């Protein structure tokens, strides 16, 4: 996933990514999502100061190969 921090000249563009359903999908701190098991997960990104956040719902339709 990708996040676009605005304004473009913001001094702190750091964000934290989390999965609210890590049993279904995980996300690393670069926004890369990986399916874990079939189901739905909510991915959240929050600005470092906590003043802004966004969420996205992802659906894992097939279990990853073992």
Arithmetic mean of pLDDT over the chain: 94
Number of domains in the chain: 1
Domain CATH code at residue 57: 2.60.40.1080
Joined tokens for residue 12 = 């702190």
Question: Per residue in 17-43, pLDDT tens?
Answer: 999 999 999 999 999 999 999 999 999
63: confidence class by pLDDT, cuts 50, 70, 90: confident
Nearest to 62 by CA among 36, 33, 27, 23: 36
CA 54 to chain centre: 9
Residues spanned by the domain of 33: 1-66
pTM for the full predicted model: 0.87
pLDDT at 64: 73
- The CA radius of gyration of the chain, in Å to the nearest whole number, is 13
Apex 29 CA angle, 28 and 34, nearest 5: 20
């Amino acid at each position: 996933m990708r996040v676009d921090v605005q304004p473009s000249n913001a001094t702190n563009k750091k964000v934290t990514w989390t999965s609210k359903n890590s049993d279904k999908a995980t996300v690393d701190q670069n926004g890369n999502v990986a399916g874990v098991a079939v189901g739905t997960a909510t991915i959240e990104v929050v600005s470092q100061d906590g003043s802004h956040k966004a969420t996205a719902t992802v659906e894992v339709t097939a279990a990853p190969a073992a």
